[in-house]
Structure 1
Amino acid sequence: MTAKTTPEQPLPIRSVLQMVAQWIGRLGVVWAEGQITDLSSRGGTVYLTLRDPVANVSARVTCPRNVYEATVPRPVDGARVVVLVKPDFWVNRGSFAFTALEIRPVGVGELLARLERLRQIIVAEGLANADRKRRLPFLPHVVGLICGRDSAAERDVLENARRRWPAVRFTVEQVAVQGQYAVGEVTEALRKLDADREIDVIIIARGGGSLEDLLPFSDESLVRAVSACLTPVVSAIGHEQDNPLIDLVADLRASTPTDAAKKVVPDVGEQLALIRQLRDRGRRVVVGWLDRELSWVSAVKSRPALADPVREIERRAEQVDGLRERSRRCLTSSLDRAEDSLGHLRARLVALSPAATLKRGYAIVQRPDGEVIRLAADVTEGDDLSVRFSDTRIAVTVSEPQ
């Protein structure tokens, strides 16, 4: 392949093909996985096409009959197999093909093991975390639907959704939902609907089927496409017991396409009933509150202070009059007692007063300086004295002491 050629010195085509065959022959053998299609046999050779289950890629494989018949169970069209192949280039025809050296069927157990490994990877990356799930809109205006062509899943979703809310609109993308083209078509439809800003939610729906039929919905590329969507995605694949991997990353899992319609689109009858219940409940709350407030106002109005405010004033006036009368009586009584006490004191003073004594016929003899003479021996002849009676005073001179 590294031979230098020129327009003047070209290589014969046989030499070129031989060089290609030598280069391909050095590639060795490799295990390849795919799905068998176009199975046929002629003579001692079995011819088949090994198709990639995801991409639109296939390759021709020739298999010696003894290798084919040694495989248990014997492969048929549509079977998933792992083949040990050796690349061969046929120089005479200038064609390329693989030669099968060994064929091993891919059993359900191996498929489940692969799905479990992929499930663990998805969970480890956090693509299935609950905090990544987005809430569906309460009332979507436009719903994107990805389903099979003229499928029962499409009819179930459309009929149930429109029965629940007739005004809802759908944008339907009909794609292959099983086989070699399913992953690519579903992924492309998903990206198309996700790019449409009018679409509020996307439903991926398919009816039930075998594990192999539902394998496209566990493909890693489709799972990652669903997790990358900006629009909420509802997975409605198969029946309740079916669990493809897109159920893990979808924002909501529905057990069936009918269940998806019920979860995405609200029932107009149920919502009207709910509105009536809420309205009645609100009315009862308001009426109850008004009744309580009116009862409180009535109770306040029935209190004496508000029912007859003048009566309260009169009662207070009566209390004032009573207190005033009581004060008057107390003051009068105090004055009377004080007057009586004063009278007694006056009587005592009068009884003890010298003037009262003088009125009884006594007199007081005093010197001019006011000294009271108590004994006759205290005076001498010629002393000037003053004699005080009860009504007057006279001056005397002692003539001869007795």
Structure 2
Amino acid sequence: MNINAVSRKKRFAILLTLGLLSAIGPFSIDMYLPAFETIALDFETTIEHIQLSLTAFFVGIAFGQLIYGPLLDKFGRKKPLLVGLVIYIGASILCAYTKEPNHLIFLRFMQALGSCSGMVASRAMVRDIFEPREAAKVFSMLMLVIGISPIVAPSVGAFVLTNFDWHIIFVILAVLAFLILLSVIFILPESYQGNKEMSLQPRAIIADFWHVFRNPVFLLYAAVGGFASSGLYAYLSGSPFVLQRLFGLSEAEYGAAFALVASTLIMATQLNRVLLNRWDSEGISKKASFIQASAGVLLVVITLSGGMNLYVLLALICVFLCSQGFIFPNTSALALAPFGKLAGIASALLGCIQMALGAFTSASVSYFHDGSMLPMAAVMGSSASIACLIYFLVDKREKNTVS
């Protein structure tokens, strides 16, 4: 597909659809965060128990992407994507009617299996259509849509909790996914027809994944992006308790604070597009990684010193997420650049690494929960520091071939 041959209006519609596909997962996370306490009370359980539904979602996305990657490379991008969206819609409706916390945890896993089809397909389609520098700009545009999610979703969730109940949150998610499904059918073109000769035998699939994984360029940027993103998921998991319980924010105030922090992510992704006209993706993301690690370390130090207050906390998290807005689009474009026919598998493996680390950090925040904000701060600081160390200490080798 030649994206330059379509009209500006059609190009905008395609990019918006890709952005919405990328945002399904984040929106599914952010919209129900304000409802953790309400859901826990309704199910007569603890917030820590409900946090496992978030962990299950991360695990589902990490596992599901490994399934969709080979399917996208064999059957093209749209058919597996449509199947995933149908799964997501069905799981969302069931989430709205469940009456048991463990059922909710399982259904969130199934919901994640559906949502990750959009995340894998959108990244692969960007790789299909754009060259690496332009792809980094497009990923920044997609991050604009993704970045709106933390602003809109918690506010919508808080509004629903105020006027209805938490079950309606999942009804809204099902309706949104249905509208995206229609956009995929009628707006999104097929960017890759698939490789009918590609084998789906387990041994062949494992060989393809191993071929991608052992590429030094992919491995470097996937690791940096994965650890940097995992700090964000630690924040998502720990912020309801920290901001609402420790700092006493109401559901509406939590949504407003979440929106303020997320706005820095949006501004960074759009500034990244401008900076790419002067600097390359590696230089931008390397500086951002250092800044993010510095913010994470300060978060831990100030927490341990007992000098943390709400305004300092929000300021440091803003810097942390602002850095993520530069790291994610650039490392994603660089990680996928070496691959052509295996772009679906590369996209799946990239997302799997990111979400697996996100699931681990989310579970770590819950596991080490001690009634303070230290678990969240420590996991955020550690994740960003590891990403920074990898970037500055690991020598990358030049890619030799395009797969």
Report TM bin, short chain.
Answer: under 0.3
Query: Taking CA–CA contacts closer than 8 Å with sequence separation of 6 or more, which of the two structures ends up with the larger relative contact order?
Result: 2
Q: TM-score, normalised by structure 2?
A: 0.21
- Greater share of residues in strand: 1
- Greater share of residues in helix: 2
Q: TM-score, normalised by structure 1?
A: 0.21
